[in-house]
Amino acid sequence: MIRLRALLVKEFIQMKRDNITLAMMVMMPIAQLLVFGFAINTDVKHLKTVVFDQSLSAESRDLLTGFTASEYFDIKYVVSSFEAVNQKIESGDAKVGIIIPPDLSANLKHSRATPIQVIVDASDSTSASSAIATAQSVGQLKSQELLLAQKGISASAASLYNIRIRAWYNQDFITAYYMVPGIMGIILTMTMVMIMAMAIVRERETGTLEQLIVTPLKTYELMIGKIIPYIIIGYMQATIALIVGIAVFNLPIRGSIGLLYGLTSFFIMASLTLGVLISSLAKTQMQAMQMSFFIFMPSILLSGFIFPRDAMPTLFYALGQLLPLTYYLEILRGIILKGNSITLLWGQIFALVIFIAATLGLAIKKFSKTLD
């Protein structure tokens, strides 16, 4: 106990003196949440659009109104040649080009189909897919209106299938609701894994580990002494993230906040043990940092933070299952957005416990109390 307490005192004194790192750990959740929360918006509206209307008729104006009314397309340029359309899209001034053929009115009168060309800059796939989907539904809607009008039926009476969609847990599709818990998980992964790994490797690099090893200090005491201070840091970051989420993004906490805090400990432990494992493999702080980044990338891409896991190929789905963040995101979104109770989260808890046991076992095995 004397030894463990001395180690903890030392860690806290060092933390207190390292103002920059401490400030980083506090500021990071705030800065990241604000940046990601506001900037990442998967719902892309108001795409700049260039129009080449060869018909210049009442019908073509009606169709274009349909496009602008969807709010997805802002007609910024009206041009009078194909070349001009190409030029606007190539230069990036416009993301979408709409080309209406000269024979639109004539075709409509004879109920002939008219090809309306919509060119989409798909180099940004998110905005492209929302533009394509919207353009298609605008086309269908307009066709339906016209057909019904020709038959003298009013549009509202025409829908025989009335599909009512209810989006649960996030009715208004607020991206921040989905993103904030995700960012909270990402921040914890980044700081916990990297800071833990660096902290131990730094002691090895500066030689202070040598000084610790020659004392009768036990390996487990050394590990506990290193881990406990960072559990506190982890909880501090989680709290800051939640406060920012609630205060800035009106994040609803539908489940028990106590449960959220309780289960967060499993994730913090999992990340810290992963950091310890990295530290036992890395020889230098540089290597520790690189290995940590090797964990971050899949954590961001495969955990379901941005991309839905259900759509992933089997291999990548399986890889995602090896990441603690995958389970923590399910816990976070489950509790925060769905109000899940613990009965629905046992699977995730179990997975995290397995992960902790496996990494800690490996780390202790690798971390012999000698230098070689």
Q: List residues near another protein by CB under 8 A.
A: 2-3, 5-7, 9-10, 13-14, 17-18, 206-208, 210-217, 368-372
Q: How far is the CB of 285 from another protein (least distance, A)?
A: 15
1 vs 113 by CB, closer to another protein: 1
8 vs 301 by CB, closer to another protein: 8
Alpha-carbon distance 177 to 348, whole Å?
21
3 vs 76 by CB, closer to another protein: 3
Residue 249's Cβ-side half-sphere holds a number of Cα atoms within 13 Å equal to: 26
Q: How far is the CB of 362 from another protein (least distance, A)?
A: 20
Q: Are strands 73-78 and 47-53 parallel, antiparallel or unpaired?
A: parallel
Q: How far is the CB of 210 from another protein (least distance, A)?
A: 5
285 vs 303 by CB, closer to another protein: 285
Q: How far is the CB of 293 from another protein (least distance, A)?
A: 26
User: Please, what sign has the CA dihedral across residues 71, 74, 80, 86?
Assistant: negative
Q: How far is the CB of 10 from another protein (least distance, A)?
A: 5
CB atoms within 10 A of CB 318: 11
203 vs 330 by CB, closer to another protein: 203
Q: How far is the CB of 27 from another protein (least distance, A)?
A: 21
254 vs 283 by CB, closer to another protein: 283
